[in-house]
């Protein structure tokens, strides 16, 4: 075995821990969230717990991509892992939802570097014609963590305590730091990188204000409230300023010249839209199972296994297929079509839907996701010169994560509003409750009469399936964008 191959294998082994901890964290926490809400209260703040994590990771994405080009991938990956571990330790000691939200913000800032740096390291070390196979394995490893995550999160939350969900992820994160330090070489250093401090600041403001609008408007605050209107002005102003600043940057944090490439533009739209809907599977299926069906956190973890198994198997097969024939365009098209089909089927569920039927619907969705996540990254990497792989990878992750942030925030707010409407139709006053009380403390449902419990479960089920129905037309936009991807081979040369 050559020294180059040994180095690659060791680096991949080290990356495995970072990938697994990223996938474990997202799925473990998603499954444990209803239990956490039952302990700390505040169902209306549940979308913010997810959104703040995704927001800070999204803001950090382009920074990791840019600065890794300057000082190397290894130091940035170690920093990302350190932030993740510290945030996890703080989350495990949170006594309020506000404290948990703060801790998840720190954790998200670290998690933002895991996948983008792993994919960039693969882009540095593996030739384009073999890269899809490795990216497929990365997706499969992510799926393995995602498969075990829901079940592990449910078991831990039900039997040990939700705090250990964060402690476990932090321990795996520490092991990942040790492996990174020992086995990953420091790659791709460029002394001429532009820090683009102003562009980074404007991007952070634009992302933050847009997520706050999606989270607060229509649920916590009225659309016409001064706060929402102010946030809208801030978003528009910062977005316009960001575009203007980046137009005059030679190598800015948001490269405007990237958008002139059809493959990049189409890939970004696919990543943005599918990101906003894919997280619907991860976040809202546990809510449906626990609140709509009245099952435990462990059961909700088991319910997501078909989704992750299909994603894992599909990712490996898709990676091999692309490596064999060199073309990728058909997979995002087929993948978005499958996700649309899955959401259509999920929107027909009720509180009497069996786990077998739910599993079949999620298999379709998992296969669809497997054809998109890594393929969009590959499409964007092979659409730009090798010197811009880091930036292209971070852009793909940025748009996917930003779509996820907006999707969870907006769809979560929609879920809260819809659930309030459904609960207001019930006679909760006879139990001394109102819709806000149920939303704030879901555990109160267990104290209701059997008939009222059933009615509340049906209301929760109808609210979640409504969210899935809304996701259908959104995902259709991604299907149109996928059709616009160029039909080229991955190893064809790209002009700078």
Assess whether pLDDT exceeds 60 at residue 496.
Answer: no
DSSP 172-214: HHHHHHHHHHHH-------TT----HHHHHHHHHHHHHHHHHH
- Between 142 and 264, residue with greater pLDDT: 264
Examine the domain organization and report whether 116 and 226 are in the same domain: no
Mean pLDDT of the residues in the chain: 81
N-to-C CA span, the chain? 34
- Residue that is last in its domain, among 211, 227, 248: 248
- pLDDT, residue 493, reads 46
What does residue 217 show for φ and ψ, rounded to 5 degrees? -70, 130
Q: pLDDT band for position 491 (50/70/90)?
A: low
- Between 381 and 239, residue with greater pLDDT: 239
User: Domain for residue 84, yes or no?
Assistant: yes
R_g over Cα of the chain:
22
- Its sign, for the CA torsion 202, 203, 207, 208, is negative
Taking the C-alpha atoms of residue 287 and residue 105, their distance in angstroms, rounded to an integer, is 22
Examine the domain organization and report whether 220 and 280 are in the same domain: no
Rounded to the nearest 5 percent, the helix, strand and coil shares of the chain are 80, 0, 20
User: Domain for residue 493, yes or no?
Assistant: no
pLDDT tens sequence across 166-217: 998 899 889 888 888 888 887 655 556 666 778 888 988 988 888 788 767 7
User: Domain for residue 488, yes or no?
Assistant: no
pLDDT tens sequence across 446-464: 777 888 888 888 888 899 9
pLDDT average, residue stretch 32-40: 80
- pLDDT, residue 490, reads 65
Which domain does 436 fall in, by range? Answer: 3-196+249-483
pLDDT average, residue stretch 84-98: 90
Examine the domain organization and report whether 70 and 114 are in the same domain: yes
Examine the domain organization and report whether 354 and 384 are in the same domain: yes
User: Domain for residue 492, yes or no?
Assistant: no
- pLDDT, residue 85, reads 93
- Residue that is last in its domain, among 221, 248, 275: 248
- pLDDT, residue 210, reads 83
User: Domain for residue 39, yes or no?
Assistant: yes
Examine the domain organization and report whether 204 and 315 are in the same domain: no
Examine the domain organization and report whether 344 and 203 are in the same domain: no
- Between 78 and 390, residue with greater pLDDT: 78
Domain count across the chain: 2
Give 401-427 as a 3 state SS string. HHHHHHHHHHHHHHHHHHHHHHHHCCC
Examine the domain organization and report whether 202 and 253 are in the same domain: no
Q: pLDDT band for position 326 (50/70/90)?
A: confident
Examine the domain organization and report whether 383 and 267 are in the same domain: yes
User: Domain for residue 489, yes or no?
Assistant: no
Which domain CATH number covers 320? 1.20.1250.20
Assess whether pLDDT exceeds 80 at residue 348.
Answer: yes
pLDDT tens sequence across 274-293: 887 777 787 788 888 888 88
* Tally of CA atoms within 13 A in the half-sphere of 380 that contains its CB: 33
Assess whether pLDDT exceeds 70 at residue 417.
Answer: yes
User: Domain for residue 494, yes or no?
Assistant: no
Nearest C-alpha neighbor of 10 from the set 135, 137, 183:
183
User: Domain for residue 490, yes or no?
Assistant: no
pLDDT tens sequence across 379-416: 777 777 766 676 777 778 778 877 877 787 788 888 88
Examine the domain organization and report whether 160 and 288 are in the same domain: yes
pLDDT average, residue stretch 295-321: 82
Examine the domain organization and report whether 267 and 334 are in the same domain: yes
Examine the domain organization and report whether 213 and 116 are in the same domain: no
- Residue that is last in its domain, among 212, 231, 248: 248
Examine the domain organization and report whether 83 and 161 are in the same domain: yes
Assess whether pLDDT exceeds 90 at residue 234.
Answer: yes
pLDDT average, residue stretch 422-448: 76
């Amino acid at each position: 075995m050559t020294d180059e191959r040994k180095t690659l294998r060791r680096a991949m082994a080290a990356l495995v821990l970072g990938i697994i901890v990223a996938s474990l964290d997202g799925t473990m926490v998603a499954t444990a969230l209803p239990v956490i809400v039952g302990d700390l209260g505040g169902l209306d703040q549940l979308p913010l717990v997810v959104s703040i994590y995704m927001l800070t990771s999204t803001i950090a994405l382009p920074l990791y991509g840019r600065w890794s080009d300057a000082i190397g991938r290894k130091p940035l990956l170690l920093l990302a892992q350190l932030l993740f571990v510290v945030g996890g330790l703080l989350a495990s000691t949170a006594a309020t939802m506000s404290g948990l939200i703060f801790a998840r913000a720190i954790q998200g800032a670290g998690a933002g570097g895991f996948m983008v740096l792993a994919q960039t390291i693969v882009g540095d070390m593996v030739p384009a014609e073999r890269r899809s196979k490795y990216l497929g394995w990365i997706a499969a490893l992510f799926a393995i963590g995602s498969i075990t995550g829901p079940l592990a999160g449910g078991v831990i939350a039900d039997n040990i305590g939700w705090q250990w969900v964060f402690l476990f992820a932090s321990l795996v994160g520490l092991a990942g730091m040790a492996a990174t330090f020992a086995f990953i070489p420091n790659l791709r250093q460029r002394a001429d990188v532009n820090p683009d401090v102003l562009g980074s600041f404007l991007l952070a403001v634009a992302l933050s204000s847009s997520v706050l609008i999606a989270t607060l408007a229509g649920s916590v605050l009225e659309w016409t409230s001064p706060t929402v209107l102010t946030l809208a002005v801030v978003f528009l102003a910062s977005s316009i300023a960001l575009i203007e600043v980046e137009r005059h940057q030679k190598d800015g944090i948001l490269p405007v010249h990237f958008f002139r490439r059809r493959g990049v533009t189409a890939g970004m739209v696919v990543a943005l839209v599918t990101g906003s809907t894919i997280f619907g599977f991860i976040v809202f299926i546990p809510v449906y199972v626990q609140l709509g069906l009245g099952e435990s956190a462990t059961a909700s973890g088991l319910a997501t296994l078909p989704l992750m198994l299909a994603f894992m198997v599909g990712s490996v097969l898709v990676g091999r297929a692309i490596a064999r024939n060199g073309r990728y365009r058909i997979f995002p098209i087929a993948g978005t079509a499958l996700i649309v089909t899955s959401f259509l089927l999920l929107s027909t569920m009720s509180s009497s839907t069996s786990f077998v039927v739910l599993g079949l619907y999620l298999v379709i969705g998992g296969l669809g996701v497997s054809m998109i996540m890594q393929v969009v990254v590959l499409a964007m990497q092979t659409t730009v010169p090798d010197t811009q792989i880091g930036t292209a990878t971070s852009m793909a992750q940025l748009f996917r994560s930003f779509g996820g942030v907006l999707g969870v925030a907006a769809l979560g707010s929609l879920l809260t509003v819809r659930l309030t409407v459904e609960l207001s139709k019930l006679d909760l006053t006879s139990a001394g409750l109102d819709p806000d009380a149920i939303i704030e403390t879901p555990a109160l449902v267990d104290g209701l009469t059997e008939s009222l419990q059933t009615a509340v479960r049906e209301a929760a089920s109808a609210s979640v399936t409504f969210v899935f129905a809304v996701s259908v037309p959104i995902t259709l936009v991604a299907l149109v964008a996928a059709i616009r991807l160029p039909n080229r081979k991955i190893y064809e040369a790209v002009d700078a």
